[in-house]
Amino acid sequence: MKLPELNITPAELFNLQYGTIRSWVLVNAVEFKLFNHTVEKKTSQEISCTLKTHEANTELFLNALSSLGLLKKEDGKYINTELSETFLVEGRETYIGQILLMNEDWNLQSRAQMKELIESGPMLPQEAPEYTGDYFANYVRAMGNLARSSLSAHSGKY
């Protein structure tokens, strides 16, 4: 059987799908608070010991973060890039990890509902989820950090 000649490849479809995996890597790193531990150069073994994670899989995870530009690997040690150092280290005024986690929660809910909405149409009104004061405090803090980081990035442009 002769395959048809194509002027296009499915590469973009796979790139779309891999976007999800890149997001999972980022979100897991934020949940592990990994970037707090890579402010200084550390080996995968040191990081694995600190996080109490599987050593070989931690190294694969760190390599994935390096390929995403969130860590640099130098002489077998990992350290934050400027991007992760600026936005993903807790306690910094520019920390936005909490917003990323909130976005992930929202996206998961949206993804779970998308197929049902396509199949069945609009859903009946539901009670709004109950959020605690901590949720809103974290949200406001994260939005403030996001705003500060955006202002800092544009401060010399006006």
- 77-80 and 71-74: which strand pairing? antiparallel
pLDDT value at residue 26: 97
Looking up tokens 């909490």, which residue turns up?
98
pLDDT value at residue 105: 82
pLDDT value at residue 126: 67
Its sign, for the CA torsion 75, 76, 77, 82, is positive
| Domains, the chain, with CATH or none | 10-86 (1.10.10.10), 91-158 (no CATH)
Please enumerate in sequence order all residues whose Cβ is within 8 A of that of 39, keeping only pairs 6 or more positions apart, or say none. Answer: 79, 80, 85, 89
**DSSP letter, residue 29:** H
What are the residue ranges in the chain where pLDDT is below 70? Answer: 126-129, 131, 149-158
pLDDT value at residue 121: 83
pLDDT value at residue 156: 58
